[in-house]
Amino acid sequence: MTQVEAVRSAAPAGAGSRRAWLGLAVLLLPVLLVSMDISVLFLAMPTLTTDLDPSAAQQLWILDIYGFMIAGLLITMGNLGDRIGRRNILLAGATVFGIASVIAAFAPSAGVLIAARALMGIGGATLLPSSLALISSLFPNVRERAAAIGVWTAFFAGGSAIGPIIGGLLLHQYWWGAVFLINIPVLLILLAFGPFLLPEHRSMVLGPLDLPSVALSIGGILPVVYAIKHAAAEGIDAEGIVILLVGAAILALFVRRQRHLDEPLLDLKLFRRAKFSVAIGSSLVGMMSLAAMSYLTSVYLQSVTGRDPLQAALLGIPMAVAVFICSMCGARVGHRIGIRATFVLALLASALGNLMLLGVGVDGGLAWYLTGSTIAGIGYGLAFTLVSEVAVSSVPPERAGSAVGISETSFELGNALGLALLGSLAALVFRSGGEYSQTLGETIQDSGDDAALIDSARESFVSGMHVATTAGAVLLGVMAVIALLATGKRERPVGAHSH
């Protein structure tokens, strides 16, 4: 029996039938939660800050530790799922995620909340690669698999867009802990139906996990991400540089080890494929610009225009809808005009949307925000679907988990880098505008109703937002040029296997 036949025999009878689509519906639940939890706190931060009184550094960790843990563990968890069973690791991860959500909801202090968010990151790292890799077991048919991946990506990308909206609705009625408790009923549905609807898939041809590689990958990614975070919060200093160099050295050892292993944790040969490298670069740059744009505009809508969290969230709906719809049809567009053209088109649309935020000001420009965010959403939706499709179709089925681990790591790293680099660029411009507190919210709180100070702080924040989103647009434009030049004109349509 070949590996592909083994996959098919493991799938429920009539994979691609109604049972497979029901299985996909169950798989979408954890994806929605994991991506929502990246952004759900953007709107909750002001009320959470009042209750728990975290320091500026703790605020950053509350936002970022979740994404960092996911980024550090995705490649390992993707490989582990390939070996011990993707359904097993999915259900175990869902349990961890649920327990951590309850701890986060009732956290009595900033420290406990940071620990709970770290635990949620560990659970989340098992959910993403196993859920996307299981799609290749549920849908052996190439066309159906491309459609299923489009739906999966729509929920993943849509989740991070809808996170602030759900956060806003909950914060309007309840306390900030409710944004975590919403995870529980969703996870209970997954744990109840997952064992019956999802096929178990473990590879019989892969050897045991290489533990030194696991240690080197986590030991390298986390210091690098921490150093970036530290630079964003404290500026560039000796401590940050030393930690960055240590992380980079460990990652260099990791890459060297992967070159000599028969079954590497990270298959470096994948990066020789131009399409795969462009996909990973696009997800990294796309998420950087999207994370910065989402975070800065949510602060803008609340602290500059004076809207409450619910009103701010509702203004995010056009972008969320654009991301969702375009994720669904990304594979179809790729099939019609080719992967290269779709990546270039998607990246340029995202860049244009970011640039349109230059029309947003302290006293107006809401139409610019709505139009720009919607156009950017069209680009992000198309690009992110193709990233997932290229990752899954680049490798044989038994390695799907590890390939997906790489693509999801680029999403998470992009999110962290966007908040750290572009977020800190915005903060730098903001603070250079006058004698302000660390953030705009704190400045308004500490102003003692000094109208002139508040006005100038808001002007300064908008200038910072303009600089950061323009930098995001430039990065997207550069990536579009790379996509145009790096991938050849002769290419297979989306969904064609290349192994």
Residue 7 clears pLDDT 60, i.e. is over it:
no
Query: Cα–Cα distances in Å, from 402 out to 15, 33, 76, 143, 336?
Result: 22, 21, 8, 22, 28
DSSP helix/strand/coil, 107 = coil
Looking at the DSSP bridge assignments, the partners of residue 364 are 361
**Count of all residues that appear for the chain in the document:** 499
> Closest by alpha carbon to 218, among 76, 93, 92?
76
pLDDT at 3: 36
**Position 460, amino acid:** S
Half-sphere exposure of 310 (CA within 13 A, CB side): 6
The mean pLDDT value of the chain amounts to: 81
**Rounded average pLDDT over 202-216:** 78
**Rounded average pLDDT over 229-233:** 68
In this predicted structure, which of 312-326, 355-369, 414-428, 443-457 has the lowest mean pLDDT? 443-457
Residue 29 clears pLDDT 90, i.e. is over it:
no
Torsions phi, psi for 364 (to 5 deg): 170, -170
Name the band, by pLDDT with cuts 50, 70 and 90, for residue 235. Answer: low
pLDDT at 488: 60
Cα 238 to the chain's mean position, in Å?
Answer: 30
Q: Which domains does the chain have, with CATH numbers?
A: 3-209+265-486 (1.20.1250.20)
Residue 495 clears pLDDT 70, i.e. is over it:
no
Structure tokens given for 309: 């969290």
**Rounded average pLDDT over 347-360:** 94
Name the band, by pLDDT with cuts 50, 70 and 90, for residue 475. Answer: very high
Name the band, by pLDDT with cuts 50, 70 and 90, for residue 252. Answer: very high
pLDDT at 161: 66
Name the band, by pLDDT with cuts 50, 70 and 90, for residue 489. Answer: low
Residue 188 clears pLDDT 70, i.e. is over it:
yes
Taking the whole predicted model, whether its pTM rises above 0.75 is answered as yes
Residue 131 clears pLDDT 60, i.e. is over it:
yes
Structure tokens given for 425: 């660029």
